[in-house]
């Protein structure tokens, strides 16, 4: 069993939160609110020392006064808290949204659309038995059909009847398969979180496992 008082504090808080599994209780509520407070308290010195000092105070000490322009623009965000002047907060938002969108559009188009379409194209090499193993050739064809049918399923500008309906139906099967895969993995994710806490209890606190 651990002799570190910090481990005991952590163990107590862990049990406080686990107690919610039985029913809601003051121990859980205490830990829940402590978590909010400690998280907010953690952020303050971190922002001051990691962001405000090196990004604002130090450059201003080095006479980089141009920095006052984005800084003043940023302070307009706070106007949102004063109803009479709330409209001023639209200016920094306009700058952030406009610049952010302008940067994102060409890059997202290339990374999220063009590259993905390119990857879907069946090249000679992808279908050639001398280059690609049979399982992968089948996979490439399956992948091509899947992308097309899934896209058709999401194309709502035409009615899903007749041939389009049948193709869209294939798309639904692909989507279900993908959701199944995601669910299968989700189980692992959630169980991992649990494993992490039990490792703490059994290893760090009680010391009953290696």
Partner 1 sequence: MNLLNKFMNMDRRWIYLITAICVIIPFLIPIGLPTYTTPPVKNLYDKIDSTPEGQIVLLSLDFDAATLPELYPMAVTILNHCFVKDIKVILMSLYMQGIGIAQVCLEDVKREFPDKKEGIDYTFLPFVPGASIVILGIGEDIHKTFPTDYYGTLIDSLPMMRDVRNFDQISVAISLSGSAISRTWITYANQRYGANVAAGVTAVMAAENYPYLQTKQLTGMLGGLKGAAEYENLVEKNLKLETRKAACIGMDAQSAVHIMMIVFIILANIAYFAGRRRKK
Partner 2 sequence: MRRTGPLKLCLICGVVMIIQFFIPHRFSKNLFEEAVHWLIVCGVPALVIGYYSIFHVHWTKIRRKREGWGYSIIIFAAVIIVALIGFIWGIGEKSVFMKIYQYMTMTMQATMFSLLGFYMASAAFRSFKARTPEATLLLIVALVIMFGRVPIGESVFIKLKLPNLVEWVLMYPNMAAQRGIGLGVGLGIMATSLKIMLGIERGWLGGAGK
3 state DSSP class of 165: helix
Residues of span 135-194 touching partner 1 by CB under 8 A: 143, 178, 181-182, 185-189, 191-194
Contact (CB, 8 A) for 56 and 65: no
Interface residue with partner 2, options 25, 34, 131, 166 (CB under 8 A): 34
Q: Is 186 in the site for partner 2 (CB under 8 A)?
A: yes
Q: Is 57 in the site for partner 2 (CB under 8 A)?
A: no
Per-residue string for binding with partner 1, 13-42, x by CB under 8 A? --------xx----------------x--x
Range list of H helices, the chain: 5-18, 26-47, 58-61, 68-75, 90-108, 115-120, 124-127, 134-153, 162-199
Closest CA to 11 of 197, 162, 209: 197
Burial profile 132-162: b = 16 or more Cβ within 10 angstroms, e = fewer = beeeebeebeebeebbebbebbeeeeeebee
For partner 2, which stretch binds (CB under 8 A), given 122-130, 157-165, 182-190?
Answer: 182-190
- Residue carrying the six token digits 């952590």: 10
Tokens of 120: 């879907």
Q: 115 contacts which partner out of partner 2, partner 1, none, CB within 5 to 8 A by kind?
A: partner 1
Quick note: the x/- pattern for partner 2 over 7-26, rule CB under 8 A, is x-xx--xx--xx-xx-----
Q: Is 205 in the site for partner 2 (CB under 8 A)?
A: no
Binding site for partner 1 (CB under 8 A): 21-22, 39, 42-43, 46-47, 49-51, 53-55, 58-59, 100, 103-104, 107-108, 110-112, 115-116, 118-119, 143, 178, 181-182, 185-189, 191-199, 202, 208-210
């Amino acid at each position: 069993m651990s002799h570190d008082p910090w481990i005991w504090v952590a163990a107590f808080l862990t049990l406080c939160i686990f107690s919610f599994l039985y029913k809601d209780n003051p121990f859980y509520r205490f830990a829940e609110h402590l978590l909010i407070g400690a998280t907010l308290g953690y952020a303050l010195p971190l922002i001051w020392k990691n962001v405000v000092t090196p990004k604002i105070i130090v450059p201003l000490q080095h006479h980089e006064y141009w920095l006052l322009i984005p800084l003043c623009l940023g302070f307009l965000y706070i106007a949102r808290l004063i109803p009479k002047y709330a409209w001023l907060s639209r200016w920094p938002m306009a700058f952030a949204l406009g610049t952010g969108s302008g940067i994102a559009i060409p890059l997202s188009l290339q990374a999220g659309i063009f590259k993905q379409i390119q990857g879907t194209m069946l090249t000679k090499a992808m279908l050639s038995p001398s280059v690609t193993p049979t399982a992968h050739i089948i996979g490439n064809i399956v992948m091509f059909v899947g992308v097309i049918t899934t896209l058709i399923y999401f194309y709502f500008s035409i009615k899903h009847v007749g041939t389009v309906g049948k193709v869209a139906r294939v798309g639904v099967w692909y989507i279900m398969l993908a959701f199944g895969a995601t669910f299968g993995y989700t189980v692992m994710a959630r169980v991992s979180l649990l494993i992490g806490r039990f490792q703490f209890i059994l290893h760090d606190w009680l010391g009953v496992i290696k």
